[in-house]
Amino acid sequence: MTISLPRQMIQEVERLRKTEHRTRSELIREALRAYFNARRTFPTYTPTAAELRAIAKGRGAMQRGQYYTLDEFRAWLLADPGKKAGAKKRPARASA
């Protein structure tokens, strides 16, 4: 079997194999085993048409500035519960 790798990846393989006192074949075999195990553990997920529409809708809202940062969301979670109940929608952010 022959494979082609970018120069930077070859240099990383060489550095790692020397550090770990291994052959290239040992290192590549282990990398492939890890890859195959990860694919079995976390199989590729294909979103449904409805999920793709929801993702597109969310991306559009983000582009319009209609989102909260993680810090804002955390602050809201920690806010007085009485304030949350009557909270109004925040106006959209201005585009940069």
Segment 4-62, tens digit of pLDDT:
999 999 999 999 999 999 999 999 999 999 999 988 888 888 999 999 999 999 999 99
**Per-domain boundaries in the chain:** 7-41, 49-85
The mean predicted confidence, pLDDT, of the chain is 88
Dump the DSSP string for 36-94.
HHHHHHS------HHHHHHHHHHHHHHHTT----HHHHHHHHHS-HHHHHTPPPPPPPP
Q: What is the reported pTM?
A: 0.45
> At which residue do the structure tokens 């195959």 appear?
36
Residue 44 has what pLDDT?
82
Select from 42, 45, 41, 3 the least CA-distant residue to 24: 3
Angle between helices 24-41 and 7-19 (to 10 degrees): 100
